Amino acid sequence: MKIPSSGESRAKQGKPILRNRFDRMEWAGAFGDLGTLIPFVVGYIGVLKMDPFGILFAFGVAMLLCGSIYKTPFPVQPMKAIAAIAIAQVAQTAVVTPMVVYAAGLTTGLLWLVLGVSGMASRITKFVPRPVVVGIILGLGMSFMLNGVKMMASHWLLAAVGLVGTLLLLTNRKIPAMFLLLIFGAISGAILHPAVLHELGTTDLSVRAPHFELSAMTWHDLLIGFVLLTLPQLPLTLGNAVIAIREENNRLFPDRTVTDNRVATSTGLMNIASSVIGGVPMCHGAGGMAGHVAFGARTGGALIILGLMLLLLAIFFSNSIATLFHLFPTAILGVILFLAGAQLALGACNFGKNKVEHLVTLITAAFAMWDVGVAFVVGMTVSYLGQRGWLKL
Q: How confident is the model at residue 108 (pLDDT cuts 50, 70, 90)?
A: very high
Distance in angstroms (rounded) separating the CA atoms of residues 170 and 32: 12
The per-residue DSSP string of 116-158 comes to: HHHTHHHHHHTTS-HHHHHHHHHHHHHHHHHHHHHHHTTSHHH
CB atoms within 10 A of CB 204: 7
The per-residue DSSP string of 182-198 comes to: HHHHHHHHHHH-HHHHH
pLDDT for res 3? 31
The per-residue DSSP string of 248-317 comes to: HHHHH-TTS---HHHHHHHHHHHHHHHHHTT---EE--HHHHHHHHHTT--STHHHHHHHHHHHHHHHHH
Rounded (10°) CA dihedral 162, 165, 166, 171: 180
**Winning range, highest mean pLDDT, from 33-47, 97-111, 353-367:** 97-111
pLDDT for res 255? 92
pLDDT for res 92? 52
Distance in angstroms (rounded) separating the CA atoms of residues 43 and 86: 9
pLDDT for res 16? 60
pLDDT at 31 over 60: yes
pLDDT for res 242? 92
pLDDT at 1 over 50: no
**Which has the minimum average pLDDT: 54-58, 335-339, 348-352?**
348-352
pLDDT for res 6? 41
Percent pLDDT > 70 in the chain is 91
Q: Nearest-5° angle of CA 305, CA 311, CA 312?
A: 90
pLDDT per residue as tens digits for the range 175-234? 778 888 888 988 898 888 888 777 776 766 778 888 899 999 999 999 989 988 888 788
Q: Are 248 and 137 in contact (CB under 8 A)?
A: yes
pLDDT per residue as tens digits for the range 265-318? 999 999 999 999 999 999 998 888 988 998 889 999 999 999 999 999 999 888
Q: What residue spans define the domains of the chain?
A: 18-351
The per-residue DSSP string of 337-365 comes to: HHHHHHHHHHTT----SSHHHHHHHHHHH
pLDDT for res 351? 65
Amino acid at 111: L
**Which has the minimum average pLDDT: 153-167, 240-254, 348-362?**
348-362
Distance in angstroms between the alpha carbons of the first and the last residue of the chain: 61
Of all helices (H) and strands (E), which one includes residue 78?
Answer: strand 77-78
Distance in angstroms (rounded) separating the CA atoms of residues 119 and 58: 26
Distance in angstroms (rounded) separating the CA atoms of residues 79 and 55: 13
Q: Are 136 and 376 in contact (CB under 8 A)?
A: yes
User: What are the CA-CA distances from residue 335 to residues 63, 176, 243 (Å)?
Assistant: 23, 15, 26
Of all helices (H) and strands (E), which one includes residue 4?
Answer: none
pLDDT at 126 over 50: yes
Percent pLDDT > 90 in the chain is 40
Q: Give the mean pLDDT of the chain.
A: 85
**Which has the minimum average pLDDT: 7-21, 169-183, 370-384?**
7-21
Distance in angstroms (rounded) separating the CA atoms of residues 37 and 45: 12
